[in-house]
Chain A
């Protein structure tokens, strides 16, 4: 079965020459010289496929996936991706390279990551960013750990309206650590602050789509010597006031919307930006600009004394592999769209949401979201009935929220992006109208 030897290039002749250089008879003989044969495993096995068969098999498997159009967001959005993006990020010089520990052999990656850091700092109006962590959720965890290192405190106040997925991740990540997580409604946060609080964590827009000013929270938490962490939605920053202009100390976000796709949950991109004074407490790789021996500008991984490969158990984080290629993709996305393109995307998202929101309000339905960007929650009587009839008509009408919180019975979270077609909106409206009448 020669197809099983895919990607091993040795001819019989070369194999024999190499084995004889080692004075061993056979490949198996060599292997079991190195490892005691009593460790030889028994496997049930699985067959190999040729490339031709694999393509067919894969196509059969993917026919089991049905991508329905819909208005599902909830922190993860379908946005337009310029075709040039995947061609550029799909260059093997980027995807088949290792972490840029050897600067002379990696200036492409290093400059791109320096540009990414700069781009994220500009997007968030913060001063510095790292070269990425895994995803938005792990970025929230890392931001909390970072605040603990900066303040030497142990309590963290978290808004209830964070994405529930992040709340579940935080519970898992923080268990076993000496951290007190205080989950509360946003209205109670300011009065709860005292000298034990390391950070206040807010998401804006929050899980229900509310947009609000963070400045008063910044003032409040700074007064007691704590930090403000904001979870942001990158696309919204094409129109919304950025974290850095509202007193935020650590801004984190899920970068999936910046040209990465939905990918059934990953790979995604954890964006992390902060103030310059805190950079030594930040986790993750960081690229810096310097000069080479001939005085040329160049880029290197820097401040590595924070990291696990140097500090081991005393490192700021255990993170090693990050999401470099996703970071580069988001940089390419923002470079292709430009500031004017990002503004337009944000504006289109908002205006589509505005139109649909006034439609549901005109039907007399309760919209529970206040000021909004591109997403709002609406209460629809007998939501499950509406939902299943929509599925029958071939679209997913939004995200049902009861699964996340029993108090949110009949809440549908609806997200609009530039990819939502007018035809879908019309079908959505027709379905809702006939649902309300029945």
Chain B
């Protein structure tokens, strides 16, 4: 690629020569400001550009990205399904974007009946899908939901006069689980995954005691396996007085088929940006509503949305509430997108989507297992983990090489090197929105990569503008802002 002229948009917005900006506002005359001079700003180092320059800059940047709209994105544990355009179009309505949240503080429910109706109806749907009694929409992401859940666990035990000290987390869990539990004031006890690929009852029992506040679990787990002992595990935790927390990261495998309450869970968070098609937004905003069984409703954040004879209203009357997790009712517009998605699919559609997610994963797994090692035999759910450990030994091809070479073939890489319990892990989650044609293409792409000499892969990707950034240099130089 040497000799290629850099595209102008790769110039930082601060380095593009300034131009005359648009003036978006009417003039206000020459009246003097009434602010003490010592509080006035002198220097404001934000550049001026004309609108077209800005439009070109960000259009150019966007074209440097892979996205679900442009590329197959089989990123394990992230559920990169298609984000319906209808969701995006409908939430641009000014009756949502201009709706002031202090209507909530003022108790002016009459001006936001539509918004409250959406929350109320979506809550009923989520309760139906999970078997929980009530939901809060405040948590602004999955990890925020975990923290909310951990606070509810704590409040529950304290209401019983107990100070339990630790939470159990399997070693295959997402890093947010132990981090959230720590932030909620608990000590973490890590539970090892056995050779079967999931948490076994006998392992759990070794770590249970009256001092255990509960267990955080995702089902299916990060290996895409459904734990057949799940109900016995729940009983064992309940027997010592602990609570069972469901991390909804993998709910796409269960929705409309299995109720998490039937598995014995007491608290649930759902990632609306995974299971319910709201976009990931380059890393956020997400939404992580939390649902609880009846005994825990009193601890939910305030306010809750209720329906009375005069319409929908906000209920602040929860004396044992853990308080506030979000300033208002969470990432509301994200929640609205999930509502639209669920209304479009209905229960039948959501069940079907989940079953096809399982089919697509098993189909890919079946076709790939002749090419690459897939540990933990048997059926998977919506995702599975392949391992390049054998390939590395035989041909020198690592999980990272496969990932980078897939970029050249137009596919976003799977999640690599996670979960930590599988060597050279490639975690693959196709989702239900991909065609057989696309799934088959991934198989052929991986076959093509494996047939390539390892040395030729070490410098991949070759078709992107940049390749294999020096991450050590990034840490060493800490160039985190352009201030010149």
User: Closest approach, in angstroms, between the C-beta of B451 and any C-beta of chain A?
Assistant: 22
Who on chain A is nearest to B66 by CB? A105
The secondary-structure label for the interface of chain B is: loop
A317: which of B29, B183, B258 is its contact (CB, 8 Å)? Answer: B183
A40: which of B107, B147, B183, B258 is its contact (CB, 8 Å)? Answer: B258
User: Closest approach, in angstroms, between the C-beta of B260 and any C-beta of chain A?
Assistant: 9
Who on chain B is nearest to A316 by CB? B179
A297 interface residue (CB < 8 Å to B): yes
Q: Flag B326-351 by CB within 8 Å of A: 1 or 0 each.
A: 11111111100000101111111100
Given A131-B283, A319-B141, also A292-B330 (CB < 8 A):
no
A138 touches B480 (CB 8 A): no
B57: chain A residues within 8 A (beta carbon): 335
In whole angstroms, what is the CA distance A344 to B433 when docked?
47
B330: chain A residues within 8 A (beta carbon): 265-266
A7: chain B residues within 8 A (beta carbon): 81-82, 84, 277, 345, 353, 432-433
User: Closest approach, in angstroms, between the C-beta of A123 and any C-beta of chain B?
Assistant: 7
A63: chain B residues within 8 A (beta carbon): 114
A207 interface residue (CB < 8 Å to B): no
Who on chain A is nearest to B21 by CB? A338
In whole angstroms, what is the CA distance A15 to B362 when docked?
13
A263 touches B142 (CB 8 A): no
Most buried by B among A22, A145, A320: A320
A8: which of B61, B353, B467 is its contact (CB, 8 Å)? Answer: B353
Q: Flag B86-113 by CB within 8 Å of A: 1 or 0 each.
A: 1010101111111111111111101111
A310 touches B175 (CB 8 A): yes
B475 touches A97 (CB 8 A): no
B48 interface residue (CB < 8 Å to A): yes
B481 interface residue (CB < 8 Å to A): yes
B5 interface residue (CB < 8 Å to A): no
User: Closest approach, in angstroms, between the C-beta of A2 and any C-beta of chain B?
Assistant: 10
Stretch at the interface among B10-18, B236-244, B385-393: B10-18
Interface size on B, residues (CB 8 A): 197
In whole angstroms, what is the CA distance A128 to B273 when docked?
29
A296 touches B45 (CB 8 A): no
User: Closest approach, in angstroms, between the C-beta of B28 and any C-beta of chain A?
Assistant: 5
A348 interface residue (CB < 8 Å to B): yes
A117 touches B481 (CB 8 A): yes
Who on chain A is nearest to B475 by CB? A302
New A-B pairs, 19, CB < 8 Å, besides A34-B358, A289-B482 = A8-B353, A10-B435, A22-B359, A30-B359, A46-B342, A62-B95, A62-B114, A82-B24, A84-B51, A118-B12, A118-B482, A169-B326, A213-B38, A264-B96, A292-B469, A297-B10, A311-B175, A320-B174, A332-B54
Q: List 17 A-B contacts (CB under 8 A).
A: A3-B349, A5-B352, A21-B366, A105-B412, A136-B327, A175-B323, A263-B332, A264-B328, A266-B328, A266-B332, A300-B469, A307-B175, A308-B174, A311-B175, A312-B175, A320-B176, A335-B13
Q: Which 6 residue pairs are nearest across A and B when measured between Cβ atoms? A: A265-B328, A48-B346, A172-B323, A325-B281, A64-B114, A64-B113
